[in-house]
Protein backbone atom coordinates (compact mmCIF):
# COMPACT_ATOMS: atom_id res chain seq x y z
CA UNK A 1 0.00 0.00 0.00
CA UNK A 2 2.70 2.39 1.05
CA UNK A 3 4.69 1.54 -2.06
CA UNK A 4 1.70 2.26 -4.25
CA UNK A 5 1.27 5.72 -2.75
CA UNK A 6 4.95 6.35 -3.25
CA UNK A 7 4.68 5.38 -6.90
CA UNK A 8 1.71 7.67 -7.47
CA UNK A 9 3.52 10.49 -5.69
CA UNK A 10 6.50 10.11 -8.04
CA UNK A 11 4.27 10.08 -11.09
CA UNK A 12 2.60 13.29 -9.93
CA UNK A 13 5.99 14.84 -9.31
CA UNK A 14 7.18 13.90 -12.77
CA UNK A 15 4.04 15.42 -14.23
CA UNK A 16 2.74 12.11 -15.62
CA UNK A 17 -0.39 12.38 -13.49
CA UNK A 18 -1.85 15.87 -13.61
CA UNK A 19 -3.32 17.16 -10.36
CA UNK A 20 -6.77 18.67 -10.64
CA UNK A 21 -6.42 22.28 -9.58
CA UNK A 22 -9.25 23.41 -7.35
CA UNK A 23 -10.41 26.97 -7.72
CA UNK A 24 -9.28 27.88 -4.23
CA UNK A 25 -5.55 27.25 -4.75
CA UNK A 26 -5.73 28.83 -8.18
CA UNK A 27 -7.19 31.99 -6.72
CA UNK A 28 -4.27 32.21 -4.30
CA UNK A 29 -1.71 31.88 -7.11
CA UNK A 30 -3.40 34.54 -9.21
CA UNK A 31 -3.52 36.89 -6.24
CA UNK A 32 0.07 36.28 -5.15
CA UNK A 33 1.34 36.59 -8.72
CA UNK A 34 -0.56 39.84 -9.22
CA UNK A 35 0.79 41.13 -5.89
CA UNK A 36 4.32 40.21 -6.95
CA UNK A 37 3.78 42.25 -10.12
CA UNK A 38 2.49 45.24 -8.15
CA UNK A 39 5.48 45.04 -5.77
CA UNK A 40 7.95 44.88 -8.68
CA UNK A 41 6.41 48.11 -9.94
CA UNK A 42 7.29 50.06 -6.77
CA UNK A 43 10.62 51.40 -8.11
CA UNK A 44 8.73 52.45 -11.25
CA UNK A 45 6.07 54.18 -9.12
CA UNK A 46 8.79 56.09 -7.27
CA UNK A 47 10.26 57.16 -10.59
CA UNK A 48 7.00 57.89 -12.41
CA UNK A 49 5.11 59.84 -9.78
CA UNK A 50 7.34 62.94 -9.64
CA UNK A 51 7.71 62.97 -13.44
CA UNK A 52 3.97 62.60 -13.98
CA UNK A 53 3.29 65.36 -11.44
CA UNK A 54 5.86 67.56 -13.20
CA UNK A 55 4.19 66.82 -16.53
CA UNK A 56 0.78 67.75 -15.16
CA UNK A 57 2.19 71.01 -13.79
CA UNK A 58 4.11 71.97 -16.93
CA UNK A 59 1.14 71.14 -19.15
CA UNK A 60 -1.10 73.30 -16.97
CA UNK A 61 1.41 76.16 -17.05
CA UNK A 62 1.56 76.06 -20.84
CA UNK A 63 -2.20 76.36 -21.08
CA UNK A 64 -3.35 72.75 -21.38
CA UNK A 65 -6.28 72.09 -19.04
CA UNK A 66 -5.77 69.22 -16.51
CA UNK A 67 -8.51 67.15 -18.13
CA UNK A 68 -6.65 67.12 -21.45
CA UNK A 69 -3.23 66.42 -19.94
CA UNK A 70 -4.74 63.46 -18.05
CA UNK A 71 -6.32 62.41 -21.33
CA UNK A 72 -2.89 62.56 -22.97
CA UNK A 73 -1.26 60.51 -20.21
CA UNK A 74 -4.02 57.92 -20.47
CA UNK A 75 -4.04 57.59 -24.25
CA UNK A 76 -0.39 58.21 -25.15
CA UNK A 77 1.38 56.94 -22.01
CA UNK A 78 4.88 57.87 -23.13
CA UNK A 79 6.64 60.38 -20.90
CA UNK A 80 9.33 61.79 -23.16
CA UNK A 81 7.01 62.37 -26.09
CA UNK A 82 4.39 64.01 -23.88
CA UNK A 83 6.93 66.54 -22.58
CA UNK A 84 8.11 67.04 -26.14
CA UNK A 85 4.55 67.58 -27.39
CA UNK A 86 3.87 70.25 -24.75
CA UNK A 87 7.16 71.90 -25.61
CA UNK A 88 6.43 71.80 -29.36
CA UNK A 89 2.90 73.13 -28.81
CA UNK A 90 4.26 76.15 -26.99
CA UNK A 91 6.70 76.84 -29.84
CA UNK A 92 3.79 76.69 -32.28
CA UNK A 93 4.62 73.40 -34.03
CA UNK A 94 1.97 71.77 -36.21
CA UNK A 95 -0.02 68.65 -35.37
CA UNK A 96 1.67 66.48 -38.00
CA UNK A 97 5.13 67.43 -36.78
CA UNK A 98 4.24 66.51 -33.21
CA UNK A 99 2.69 63.19 -34.20
CA UNK A 100 5.68 62.27 -36.39
CA UNK A 101 8.18 63.18 -33.69
CA UNK A 102 6.18 61.04 -31.25
CA UNK A 103 6.39 58.10 -33.64
CA UNK A 104 10.16 58.42 -34.01
CA UNK A 105 10.66 58.80 -30.27
CA UNK A 106 8.61 55.70 -29.44
CA UNK A 107 9.69 53.36 -32.20
CA UNK A 108 12.13 51.79 -29.73
CA UNK A 109 9.15 50.05 -28.10
CA UNK A 110 8.84 48.00 -31.29
CA UNK A 111 12.26 46.45 -30.75
CA UNK A 112 11.56 45.98 -27.02
CA UNK A 113 8.18 44.43 -27.82
CA UNK A 114 9.78 41.90 -30.17
CA UNK A 115 12.19 40.87 -27.44
CA UNK A 116 9.47 40.58 -24.78
CA UNK A 117 6.93 38.77 -26.98
CA UNK A 118 9.67 36.21 -27.73
CA UNK A 119 9.44 35.23 -24.05
CA UNK A 120 5.63 35.18 -23.88
CA UNK A 121 4.88 32.58 -26.53
CA UNK A 122 2.22 30.74 -24.52
CA UNK A 123 0.25 33.77 -23.41
CA UNK A 124 -3.22 34.34 -24.94
CA UNK A 125 -3.27 36.98 -27.68
CA UNK A 126 -5.67 39.27 -25.82
CA UNK A 127 -3.23 39.40 -22.89
CA UNK A 128 -0.30 40.03 -25.20
CA UNK A 129 -2.11 43.01 -26.71
CA UNK A 130 -3.06 44.36 -23.28
CA UNK A 131 0.49 43.96 -21.95
CA UNK A 132 2.01 45.41 -25.12
CA UNK A 133 -0.13 48.53 -24.75
CA UNK A 134 1.60 49.09 -21.43
CA UNK A 135 5.18 48.63 -22.63
CA UNK A 136 7.42 51.47 -21.55
CA UNK A 137 11.21 51.53 -21.12
CA UNK A 138 10.71 50.77 -17.44
CA UNK A 139 8.06 48.03 -17.56
CA UNK A 140 10.02 46.35 -20.35
CA UNK A 141 13.24 46.42 -18.32
CA UNK A 142 11.60 44.97 -15.20
CA UNK A 143 9.63 42.30 -17.09
CA UNK A 144 12.40 41.13 -19.39
CA UNK A 145 15.04 40.92 -16.65
CA UNK A 146 12.80 38.89 -14.34
CA UNK A 147 14.59 35.60 -13.78
CA UNK A 148 11.81 33.03 -13.42
CA UNK A 149 8.85 32.54 -15.74
CA UNK A 150 6.74 35.64 -16.32
CA UNK A 151 3.09 34.92 -15.69
CA UNK A 152 0.25 36.94 -17.16
CA UNK A 153 -0.99 38.07 -13.76
CA UNK A 154 2.49 39.25 -12.78
CA UNK A 155 2.61 41.34 -15.93
CA UNK A 156 -0.90 42.64 -15.31
CA UNK A 157 0.11 43.84 -11.83
CA UNK A 158 3.32 45.42 -13.11
CA UNK A 159 1.81 47.16 -16.12
CA UNK A 160 -1.41 48.30 -14.44
CA UNK A 161 0.34 49.78 -11.39
CA UNK A 162 2.76 51.72 -13.57
CA UNK A 163 -0.02 52.99 -15.83
CA UNK A 164 -2.30 54.09 -13.00
CA UNK A 165 0.62 55.90 -11.32
CA UNK A 166 1.34 57.80 -14.52
CA UNK A 167 -2.27 58.89 -15.07
CA UNK A 168 -3.02 59.80 -11.44
CA UNK A 169 0.33 61.60 -11.12
CA UNK A 170 -0.62 63.76 -14.10
CA UNK A 171 -3.94 64.68 -12.48
CA UNK A 172 -2.22 65.55 -9.19
CA UNK A 173 0.26 67.72 -11.08
CA UNK A 174 -2.49 69.55 -12.91
CA UNK A 175 -4.33 70.24 -9.67
CA UNK A 176 -1.23 71.19 -7.67
CA UNK A 177 0.41 73.35 -10.30
CA UNK A 178 -0.20 76.54 -8.32
CA UNK A 179 0.99 75.12 -5.00
CA UNK A 180 4.28 73.28 -5.64
CA UNK A 181 7.23 74.63 -7.63
CA UNK A 182 8.49 72.24 -10.36
CA UNK A 183 12.04 72.41 -8.97
CA UNK A 184 11.12 69.93 -6.21
CA UNK A 185 10.62 67.02 -8.57
CA UNK A 186 13.90 67.69 -10.38
CA UNK A 187 16.17 65.80 -7.96
CA UNK A 188 13.93 62.79 -8.39
CA UNK A 189 14.47 62.61 -12.14
CA UNK A 190 17.51 60.44 -11.37
CA UNK A 191 15.18 57.73 -10.00
CA UNK A 192 14.49 56.03 -13.31
CA UNK A 193 18.16 55.97 -14.29
CA UNK A 194 18.98 54.54 -10.86
CA UNK A 195 16.41 51.83 -11.48
CA UNK A 196 17.93 50.96 -14.85
CA UNK A 197 21.35 50.71 -13.20
CA UNK A 198 19.89 48.65 -10.37
CA UNK A 199 18.50 46.21 -12.94
CA UNK A 200 21.68 46.07 -15.01
CA UNK A 201 24.36 45.57 -12.33
CA UNK A 202 23.07 42.24 -10.88
CA UNK A 203 22.83 40.84 -14.42
CA UNK A 204 26.40 41.94 -15.11
CA UNK A 205 27.62 40.33 -11.87
CA UNK A 206 26.17 37.10 -13.15
CA UNK A 207 27.55 37.34 -16.66
CA UNK A 208 30.01 39.98 -17.80
CA UNK A 209 28.79 39.59 -21.36
CA UNK A 210 25.61 41.58 -20.54
CA UNK A 211 27.82 44.40 -19.27
CA UNK A 212 29.82 44.37 -22.49
CA UNK A 213 26.61 44.63 -24.51
CA UNK A 214 25.37 47.53 -22.34
CA UNK A 215 28.71 49.35 -22.64
CA UNK A 216 28.79 48.92 -26.43
CA UNK A 217 25.25 50.23 -26.64
CA UNK A 218 26.11 53.22 -24.38
CA UNK A 219 29.02 54.11 -26.66
CA UNK A 220 26.88 53.74 -29.78
CA UNK A 221 24.15 55.93 -28.30
CA UNK A 222 26.69 58.61 -27.36
CA UNK A 223 28.11 58.75 -30.88
CA UNK A 224 24.81 58.34 -32.76
CA UNK A 225 23.14 60.92 -30.51
CA UNK A 226 25.40 63.56 -32.06
CA UNK A 227 23.81 62.99 -35.47
CA UNK A 228 20.33 61.66 -34.79
CA UNK A 229 17.31 62.50 -32.66
CA UNK A 230 17.43 60.75 -29.28
CA UNK A 231 14.58 58.42 -30.31
CA UNK A 232 16.30 57.01 -33.40
CA UNK A 233 19.63 56.98 -31.61
CA UNK A 234 18.21 54.72 -28.87
CA UNK A 235 16.53 52.48 -31.48
CA UNK A 236 19.75 52.02 -33.49
CA UNK A 237 21.98 51.57 -30.43
CA UNK A 238 19.62 48.92 -29.04
CA UNK A 239 19.46 47.02 -32.33
CA UNK A 240 23.22 47.20 -32.98
CA UNK A 241 24.16 46.60 -29.33
CA UNK A 242 21.95 43.49 -29.37
CA UNK A 243 23.70 42.27 -32.54
CA UNK A 244 27.02 42.72 -30.74
CA UNK A 245 25.51 40.33 -28.19
CA UNK A 246 24.98 37.71 -30.90
CA UNK A 247 28.61 38.09 -31.92
CA UNK A 248 29.79 37.82 -28.31
CA UNK A 249 27.72 34.66 -27.73
CA UNK A 250 29.04 33.05 -30.90
CA UNK A 251 32.64 33.87 -30.03
CA UNK A 252 32.32 32.28 -26.59
CA UNK A 253 30.85 29.10 -28.06
CA UNK A 254 33.46 28.76 -30.80
Partner 1 sequence: MTDHLLLIILGMSVVTLIPRWLPVWIMDRITWPDWAREWLDSIPYAALGALIFPGILSVAKGEPWIGLAGGIVAAILAYWRLHIMYVVFGSILAVMMAKSF
Which residues in the 61-80 window bind partner 1 by CB under 8 A? 63-65, 68, 71-72, 75-78
- 225-231 long-range CB contacts below 8 Å, 24 or more apart? 229/101, 229/104, 229/105, 230/80, 230/105, 231/80, 231/101, 231/104, 231/105, 231/106, 231/107, 231/108
- Other CB atoms within 10 A of residue 26 CB: 10
Start-to-end C-alpha separation, the chain: 54
Asked if 165 touches partner 1 (CB under 8 A), the answer is no
Give the whole-angstrom CA distance, residue 164 versus residue 161.
5
Q: Which stretch binds partner 1 (CB under 8 A): 3-11, 19-27, 94-102, 158-166?
A: 94-102
Asked if 238 touches partner 1 (CB under 8 A), the answer is yes
- Sign of the four-CA dihedral 253, 143, 79, 52: negative
Asked if 229 touches partner 1 (CB under 8 A), the answer is no
Quote the least distance from Cβ 13 to partner 1, whole Å.
Answer: 30
CA-CA-CA-CA dihedral for 38, 69, 82, 84, to nearest 10: -150
13, 14, 121, 251: which one binds partner 1 (CB under 8 A):
121
Asked if 191 touches partner 1 (CB under 8 A), the answer is yes
- Other CB atoms within 10 A of residue 123 CB: 16
Quote the least distance from Cβ 35 to partner 1, whole Å.
Answer: 16
Encoded one letter per residue, x for contact with partner 1 by CB under 8 A and - for no contact, window 1-30 reads ------------------------------
57, 155, 167, 214: which one binds partner 1 (CB under 8 A):
214
Asked if 41 touches partner 1 (CB under 8 A), the answer is no
Asked if 109 touches partner 1 (CB under 8 A), the answer is yes
Q: Choose between 155 and 234: whose C-beta lies nearer to partner 1.
A: 234
Quote the least distance from Cβ 206 to partner 1, whole Å.
Answer: 11
The site for partner 1, by CB under 8 A, has a size of 95
**CB-count burial class (<10 Å; 0-12, 13-18, 19+) for 126:** exposed
Amino acid sequence: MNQKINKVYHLIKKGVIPIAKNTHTQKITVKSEFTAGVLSAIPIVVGYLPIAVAFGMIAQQSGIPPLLSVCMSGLVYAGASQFMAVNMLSTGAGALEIVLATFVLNFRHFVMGLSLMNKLKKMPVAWKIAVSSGITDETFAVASLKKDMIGKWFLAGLVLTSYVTWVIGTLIGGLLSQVIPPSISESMSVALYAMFIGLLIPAVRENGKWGMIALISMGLNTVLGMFLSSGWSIVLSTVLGGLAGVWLMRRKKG
